Protein backbone atom coordinates (compact mmCIF):
# COMPACT_ATOMS: atom_id res chain seq x y z
CA UNK A 1 0.00 0.00 0.00
CA UNK A 2 1.65 3.21 -1.16
CA UNK A 3 0.74 6.72 -0.12
CA UNK A 4 -1.69 8.38 -2.52
CA UNK A 5 -0.42 11.26 -4.65
CA UNK A 6 -3.93 12.30 -5.73
CA UNK A 7 -5.04 15.88 -5.09
CA UNK A 8 -8.53 14.66 -4.15
CA UNK A 9 -9.61 14.68 -0.48
CA UNK A 10 -8.97 11.28 1.10
CA UNK A 11 -11.90 9.24 2.40
CA UNK A 12 -11.19 6.06 4.37
CA UNK A 13 -13.95 3.41 4.36
CA UNK A 14 -13.76 0.75 7.08
CA UNK A 15 -16.27 -1.96 6.13
CA UNK A 16 -16.01 -5.77 6.11
CA UNK A 17 -18.89 -6.30 3.64
CA UNK A 18 -17.18 -6.47 0.23
CA UNK A 19 -20.40 -5.63 -1.60
CA UNK A 20 -20.98 -2.47 0.44
CA UNK A 21 -17.28 -1.62 0.08
CA UNK A 22 -17.61 -1.64 -3.70
CA UNK A 23 -20.87 0.32 -3.61
CA UNK A 24 -19.38 3.08 -1.42
CA UNK A 25 -16.14 3.20 -3.37
CA UNK A 26 -18.01 3.55 -6.66
CA UNK A 27 -20.38 6.18 -5.24
CA UNK A 28 -17.68 8.38 -3.67
CA UNK A 29 -15.56 8.70 -6.80
CA UNK A 30 -15.10 12.44 -6.18
CA UNK A 31 -12.79 11.46 -3.30
CA UNK A 32 -9.65 9.37 -3.13
CA UNK A 33 -11.26 6.36 -1.43
CA UNK A 34 -9.16 3.95 0.62
CA UNK A 35 -10.83 0.74 1.85
CA UNK A 36 -10.05 -1.43 4.89
CA UNK A 37 -12.08 -4.37 6.19
CA UNK A 38 -10.72 -4.62 9.75
CA UNK A 39 -9.26 -2.48 12.52
CA UNK A 40 -5.61 -3.34 11.87
CA UNK A 41 -5.85 -2.48 8.16
CA UNK A 42 -7.80 0.68 8.97
CA UNK A 43 -5.09 1.95 11.34
CA UNK A 44 -2.35 1.12 8.82
CA UNK A 45 -4.26 2.97 6.08
CA UNK A 46 -4.86 5.95 8.35
CA UNK A 47 -1.17 6.25 9.21
CA UNK A 48 -0.22 6.02 5.55
CA UNK A 49 -2.87 8.20 3.92
CA UNK A 50 -3.82 10.60 6.76
CA UNK A 51 -7.50 10.56 5.84
CA UNK A 52 -9.53 13.60 6.86
CA UNK A 53 -12.85 11.71 6.97
CA UNK A 54 -13.51 8.06 7.85
CA UNK A 55 -16.72 6.09 7.30
CA UNK A 56 -16.61 3.17 9.73
CA UNK A 57 -19.00 0.27 10.16
CA UNK A 58 -19.60 -0.03 13.90
CA UNK A 59 -20.44 -3.70 13.46
CA UNK A 60 -16.92 -4.93 12.67
CA UNK A 61 -16.43 -8.58 13.69
CA UNK A 62 -14.85 -8.99 17.17
CA UNK A 63 -11.17 -9.97 17.32
CA UNK A 64 -9.95 -13.41 18.32
CA UNK A 65 -10.15 -12.42 22.00
CA UNK A 66 -13.77 -11.34 21.64
CA UNK A 67 -12.99 -7.62 21.95
CA UNK A 68 -15.46 -5.32 20.14
CA UNK A 69 -13.47 -4.09 17.15
CA UNK A 70 -15.90 -1.32 16.25
CA UNK A 71 -15.44 0.79 19.35
CA UNK A 72 -11.74 -0.04 19.63
CA UNK A 73 -11.26 1.11 16.03
CA UNK A 74 -12.85 4.47 16.86
CA UNK A 75 -10.57 4.86 19.88
CA UNK A 76 -7.46 4.02 17.86
CA UNK A 77 -8.41 6.37 15.01
CA UNK A 78 -9.04 9.32 17.32
CA UNK A 79 -5.85 8.61 19.28
CA UNK A 80 -3.74 8.63 16.11
CA UNK A 81 -5.61 11.37 14.26
CA UNK A 82 -7.78 13.35 16.71
CA UNK A 83 -8.77 15.90 14.05
CA UNK A 84 -10.17 13.33 11.62
CA UNK A 85 -13.96 13.10 11.30
CA UNK A 86 -15.33 9.60 11.99
CA UNK A 87 -18.81 8.79 10.65
CA UNK A 88 -20.06 5.50 12.11
CA UNK A 89 -22.55 3.30 10.28
CA UNK A 90 -24.87 1.14 12.37
CA UNK A 91 -27.87 -1.13 11.95
CA UNK A 92 -31.24 0.58 12.04
CA UNK A 93 -31.95 -0.81 15.53
CA UNK A 94 -28.54 0.10 16.96
CA UNK A 95 -29.10 3.76 17.85
CA UNK A 96 -27.77 3.41 21.42
CA UNK A 97 -24.37 2.19 20.21
CA UNK A 98 -24.30 4.98 17.62
CA UNK A 99 -24.83 7.55 20.37
CA UNK A 100 -22.13 5.85 22.45
CA UNK A 101 -19.74 6.18 19.50
CA UNK A 102 -20.52 9.92 19.19
CA UNK A 103 -19.94 10.31 22.94
CA UNK A 104 -16.51 8.70 22.42
CA UNK A 105 -15.61 11.35 19.85
CA UNK A 106 -17.11 10.19 16.54
CA UNK A 107 -18.27 13.10 14.38
CA UNK A 108 -21.68 11.69 13.36
CA UNK A 109 -23.54 8.44 12.72
CA UNK A 110 -25.63 6.97 9.95
CA UNK A 111 -28.05 4.07 10.17
CA UNK A 112 -28.20 1.38 7.48
CA UNK A 113 -29.54 0.63 4.92
CA UNK A 114 -27.38 3.07 3.02
CA UNK A 115 -29.06 5.94 1.23
CA UNK A 116 -26.18 7.41 -0.83
CA UNK A 117 -27.69 10.89 -1.10
CA UNK A 118 -28.08 11.28 2.66
CA UNK A 119 -24.62 9.86 3.31
CA UNK A 120 -23.29 12.30 0.68
CA UNK A 121 -24.48 15.27 2.73
CA UNK A 122 -22.94 13.93 5.96
CA UNK A 123 -19.59 13.26 4.27
CA UNK A 124 -19.53 16.64 2.48
CA UNK A 125 -20.26 18.42 5.74
CA UNK A 126 -17.54 16.44 7.54
CA UNK A 127 -14.94 17.45 4.95
CA UNK A 128 -16.11 21.07 5.15
CA UNK A 129 -15.89 21.14 8.96
CA UNK A 130 -12.46 19.49 8.88
CA UNK A 131 -11.22 22.09 6.39
CA UNK A 132 -12.54 24.99 8.51
CA UNK A 133 -10.98 23.58 11.68
CA UNK A 134 -7.66 23.04 9.90
CA UNK A 135 -7.72 26.62 8.63
CA UNK A 136 -8.44 27.94 12.13
CA UNK A 137 -5.58 25.88 13.59
CA UNK A 138 -3.16 27.25 10.98
CA UNK A 139 -4.44 30.78 11.59
CA UNK A 140 -3.95 30.36 15.33
CA UNK A 141 -0.37 29.15 14.83
CA UNK A 142 0.42 32.04 12.47
CA UNK A 143 -0.87 34.51 15.06
CA UNK A 144 1.19 32.89 17.82
CA UNK A 145 4.31 32.80 15.63
CA UNK A 146 3.87 35.82 13.33
CA UNK A 147 7.59 35.82 12.51
CA UNK A 148 10.05 32.94 12.53
CA UNK A 149 11.43 32.46 16.04
CA UNK A 150 8.91 34.82 17.67
CA UNK A 151 5.91 33.68 19.71
CA UNK A 152 3.41 36.35 20.74
CA UNK A 153 -0.24 37.31 20.93
CA UNK A 154 0.49 40.85 22.11
CA UNK A 155 -1.39 43.33 19.85
CA UNK A 156 1.44 45.89 19.83
CA UNK A 157 4.07 43.31 18.95
CA UNK A 158 1.82 41.84 16.25
CA UNK A 159 1.51 45.36 14.81
CA UNK A 160 5.32 45.62 14.71
CA UNK A 161 5.48 42.23 12.98
CA UNK A 162 3.10 43.44 10.28
CA UNK A 163 5.34 46.50 9.75
CA UNK A 164 8.40 44.26 9.41
CA UNK A 165 6.56 42.14 6.84
CA UNK A 166 5.96 45.29 4.78
CA UNK A 167 9.59 46.46 4.79
CA UNK A 168 11.16 43.00 4.37
CA UNK A 169 10.79 42.78 0.55
CA UNK A 170 12.52 46.17 0.13
CA UNK A 171 16.22 47.06 0.32
CA UNK A 172 15.76 50.01 2.68
CA UNK A 173 18.22 50.30 5.58
CA UNK A 174 16.36 50.06 8.86
CA UNK A 175 17.13 50.42 12.57
CA UNK A 176 15.55 48.36 15.35
CA UNK A 177 15.30 50.14 18.71
CA UNK A 178 14.71 48.43 22.03
CA UNK A 179 16.13 47.36 25.35
CA UNK A 180 18.66 44.54 25.53
CA UNK A 181 17.00 41.12 25.39
CA UNK A 182 13.86 42.27 23.58
CA UNK A 183 14.59 40.20 20.47
CA UNK A 184 16.08 42.72 18.04
CA UNK A 185 18.28 40.11 16.37
CA UNK A 186 15.33 37.71 16.11
CA UNK A 187 13.45 40.40 14.22
CA UNK A 188 16.46 41.20 12.03
CA UNK A 189 16.75 37.53 11.06
CA UNK A 190 13.00 37.44 10.38
CA UNK A 191 13.32 40.43 8.02
CA UNK A 192 16.10 38.57 6.20
CA UNK A 193 14.04 35.36 5.96
CA UNK A 194 11.07 37.28 4.52
CA UNK A 195 13.21 39.10 1.96
CA UNK A 196 14.35 38.07 -1.55
CA UNK A 197 17.82 37.63 0.02
CA UNK A 198 16.76 34.77 2.31
CA UNK A 199 18.96 32.24 0.47
CA UNK A 200 22.06 34.43 0.88
CA UNK A 201 24.19 35.13 3.95
CA UNK A 202 22.96 36.82 7.12
CA UNK A 203 26.10 38.31 8.69
CA UNK A 204 25.97 39.84 12.17
CA UNK A 205 28.54 41.95 13.99
CA UNK A 206 28.22 43.37 17.50
CA UNK A 207 29.79 46.81 17.32
CA UNK A 208 30.12 46.97 21.12
CA UNK A 209 32.02 43.68 21.34
CA UNK A 210 34.82 44.52 18.87
CA UNK A 211 37.76 46.65 20.13
CA UNK A 212 37.75 50.15 18.62
CA UNK A 213 41.11 49.65 16.89
CA UNK A 214 39.88 46.49 15.13
CA UNK A 215 36.34 47.32 14.11
CA UNK A 216 37.28 49.03 10.82
CA UNK A 217 39.24 46.02 9.57
CA UNK A 218 36.53 43.70 10.93
CA UNK A 219 33.88 45.54 8.89
CA UNK A 220 35.76 46.41 5.70
CA UNK A 221 38.60 43.88 5.66
CA UNK A 222 42.26 44.65 4.98
CA UNK A 223 44.98 44.20 2.38
CA UNK A 224 48.14 42.21 2.97
CA UNK A 225 50.71 44.39 4.77
CA UNK A 226 48.17 47.00 5.84
CA UNK A 227 49.45 46.73 9.42
CA UNK A 228 51.69 44.53 11.51
CA UNK A 229 50.39 40.98 11.40
CA UNK A 230 48.38 41.46 8.20
CA UNK A 231 50.00 38.53 6.45
CA UNK A 232 47.26 38.04 3.86
CA UNK A 233 44.34 39.87 2.33
CA UNK A 234 41.19 39.37 4.41
CA UNK A 235 37.67 40.38 3.48
CA UNK A 236 35.45 41.95 6.13
CA UNK A 237 31.89 41.42 7.27
CA UNK A 238 30.49 43.79 4.63
CA UNK A 239 31.97 41.86 1.70
CA UNK A 240 31.06 38.55 3.34
CA UNK A 241 27.42 39.67 3.38
CA UNK A 242 27.43 40.60 -0.32
CA UNK A 243 23.98 39.91 -1.86
CA UNK A 244 22.72 39.09 1.63
CA UNK A 245 22.00 40.98 4.85
CA UNK A 246 24.44 42.76 7.19
CA UNK A 247 23.24 43.15 10.78
CA UNK A 248 25.04 45.88 12.74
CA UNK A 249 24.08 45.19 16.33
CA UNK A 250 24.64 47.89 18.99
CA UNK A 251 25.20 50.50 16.28
CA UNK A 252 25.08 53.17 19.03
CA UNK A 253 28.53 51.99 20.13
CA UNK A 254 30.11 52.57 16.70
CA UNK A 255 33.23 54.79 17.18
CA UNK A 256 32.74 58.36 15.94
CA UNK A 257 35.86 58.26 13.75
CA UNK A 258 34.44 55.31 11.77
CA UNK A 259 30.99 56.78 11.19
CA UNK A 260 32.05 58.85 8.14
CA UNK A 261 33.37 55.76 6.38
CA UNK A 262 30.24 53.83 7.33
CA UNK A 263 28.05 56.66 6.01
CA UNK A 264 29.85 56.58 2.65
CA UNK A 265 29.28 52.84 2.45
CA UNK A 266 25.56 53.29 3.24
CA UNK A 267 25.18 56.03 0.64
CA UNK A 268 27.35 54.68 -2.18
CA UNK A 269 27.44 50.95 -1.44
CA UNK A 270 31.20 50.92 -2.01
CA UNK A 271 34.00 50.16 0.44
CA UNK A 272 37.80 50.27 0.61
CA UNK A 273 39.68 47.65 2.56
CA UNK A 274 42.13 48.93 5.19
CA UNK A 275 45.40 49.58 3.36
CA UNK A 276 43.67 49.39 0.00
CA UNK A 277 43.11 51.97 -2.73
CA UNK A 278 40.44 50.27 -4.84
CA UNK A 279 36.73 50.86 -4.41
CA UNK A 280 34.75 47.64 -4.09
CA UNK A 281 31.04 47.65 -4.90
CA UNK A 282 28.83 45.63 -2.57
CA UNK A 283 25.14 44.79 -2.68
CA UNK A 284 24.07 44.47 0.94
CA UNK A 285 20.85 45.01 2.88
CA UNK A 286 21.77 46.71 6.16
CA UNK A 287 19.81 46.30 9.38
CA UNK A 288 20.97 48.11 12.51
CA UNK A 289 19.95 47.72 16.12
CA UNK A 290 20.66 49.54 19.36
CA UNK A 291 19.43 49.81 22.93
CA UNK A 292 20.49 53.46 23.11
CA UNK A 293 18.58 56.67 22.42
CA UNK A 294 20.26 57.81 19.20
CA UNK A 295 18.46 61.16 19.09
CA UNK A 296 19.73 62.08 22.57
CA UNK A 297 23.24 60.94 21.63
CA UNK A 298 23.18 63.21 18.56
CA UNK A 299 22.04 66.15 20.68
CA UNK A 300 24.81 65.74 23.27
CA UNK A 301 27.44 65.06 20.61
CA UNK A 302 28.27 61.50 21.65
CA UNK A 303 27.09 60.06 18.33
The residue that leads in pLDDT, 204 or 143, is 204
List the chain domain ranges.
Answer: 10-144, 155-299
35: closest CA among 50, 18, 47, 52? 18
Q: Does 155-299 match 10-144 at the fold level?
A: yes
Mean pLDDT, all residues of the chain: 88
Q: In the predicted model, is pLDDT for residue 140 greater than 80?
A: no
Band (12; pLDDT cuts 50, 70, 90): very high
- Distance (Å, rounded) from C-alpha 98 to C-alpha 94? 6
Q: What angle do CA 155, 157, 163 make, to 5 degrees?
A: 105
pLDDT in tens, 78-94: 999 999 999 999 987 78
Q: In the predicted model, is pLDDT for residue 279 greater than 90?
A: yes
Q: In the predicted model, is pLDDT for residue 150 greater than 80?
A: no
- What is the pTM (predicted TM-score) of this model? 0.53
pLDDT in tens, 21-72: 999 999 999 999 999 999 999 999 999 999 999 999 998 877 777 667 889 9
> Contact 253/138 with Cβ under 8 angstroms?
no
Superfamily designation of domain 10-144: Response regulator (3.40.50.2300)
The CATH number for 155-299, chosen from 3.10.310.30, 3.60.21.10, 3.40.50.300, 3.30.750.200, is 3.40.50.300
pLDDT of residue 3: 61
Amino acid sequence: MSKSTSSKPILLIVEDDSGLQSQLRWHFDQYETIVADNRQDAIAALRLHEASVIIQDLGLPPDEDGVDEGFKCIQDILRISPNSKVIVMTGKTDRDNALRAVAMGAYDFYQKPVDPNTLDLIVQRAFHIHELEDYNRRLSVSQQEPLEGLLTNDPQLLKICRQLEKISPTTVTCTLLGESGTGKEVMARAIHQLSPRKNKRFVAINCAAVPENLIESELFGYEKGAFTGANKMTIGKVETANEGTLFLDEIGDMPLNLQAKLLRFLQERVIERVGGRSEISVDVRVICATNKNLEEMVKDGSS
